[in-house]
Amino acid sequence: MAVREIITVPDPRLKLVSQPVERVDEELRDLMDDMLQSMYAADGIGLAAIQVGVPKRVIVMDLAKADEAPAPRYFVNPVLSDPSDNLQPYEEGCLSVPTVFDEVERPDRVRIQYLDYDGKPCDEIAEGMFAVCIQHEMDHLEGILFIDYLSRLKRQRAVQRVKKLDKDKTRDDAA
Ligand code: GNR
Ligand code: NI
């Protein structure tokens, strides 16, 4: 297992549409293990494969609170349907847009069908934080970031902020 680097805006790979997985095999489980470890290392609650530069339809998530036991979850080829009519705002963040947070409105309930870590088909209803996170991650699979829902001004500011952050970090690393 390895912690992989999480790519940030404006990396053009974040705009790619990720491709379906053909088989849930050991190689894919290795990727999912790395993704989970990378997500934990970055203190995230969800991660899409494209955030480590792999354009596959794979998501990992752990919504357990700090004082709870880890509860890793894996979603391969997820499909969302039956969104509720009720929109709920939530202050979102993204490991690919670090230090930026803003409100996004999404349906508060969605159905999700996917293959799990063992390749078993699953079908469930997501609500609350699970609904927020799975929709945020599904967007990554389509090359969409939460800042794409903000005004152009806010989006441009967010990208500039991350660019500066990464530039300062590169300089610090060299020093
Ligand atoms: O760690 C994350 N926190 C978060 C908070 C509110 C809404 C969505 C998220 S997902 C984010 C990790 C991430 O970037 N996943 O793609
Ligand atoms: Ni994200």
> Tens of pLDDT along 89-147?
999 999 999 999 999 999 999 999 999 999 999 999 999 999 999 999 999 999 999 99
Given ligand 1 and candidates 133, 140, 147, 149, which is best to mutate, with the most ligand atoms within 8 Å of its CB? 133
Given ligand 1 and candidates 94, 142, 144, which is best to mutate, with the most ligand atoms within 8 Å of its CB? 94
Q: Is residue 6 part of a domain?
A: no
> Tens of pLDDT along 39-95?
999 999 999 999 999 999 999 999 999 899 999 999 999 999 999 999 999 999 999
CATH number at residue 162: 3.90.45.10
Distance 120 CA to ligand 2 centre (A): 25
The DSSP element (H or E) to which 105 belongs, if any, is: strand 102-107
User: In this structure, is the dihedral angle defined by the CA atoms of residues 150, 153, 157 and 159, taken in order, positive or negative?
Assistant: positive
Q: Is residue 1 part of a domain?
A: no
Task: Return the closest-CA partner of residue 57 out of 124, 126, 142.
Answer: 142
Residues in the chain: 175
Q: Is residue 169 part of a domain?
A: yes
pTM: 0.98
Residue 123: phi, psi to the nearest 5?
Answer: -150, 115
Q: Is residue 3 part of a domain?
A: no
Residue numbers annotated as active site: 137
Query: Tokens standing for 132?
Result: 């927020």
Q: Identify the residues whose C-beta falls under 6 Å from ligand 1.
A: 44-48, 51, 92-96, 132-133, 136-137, 140
Q: Is residue 125 part of a domain?
A: yes
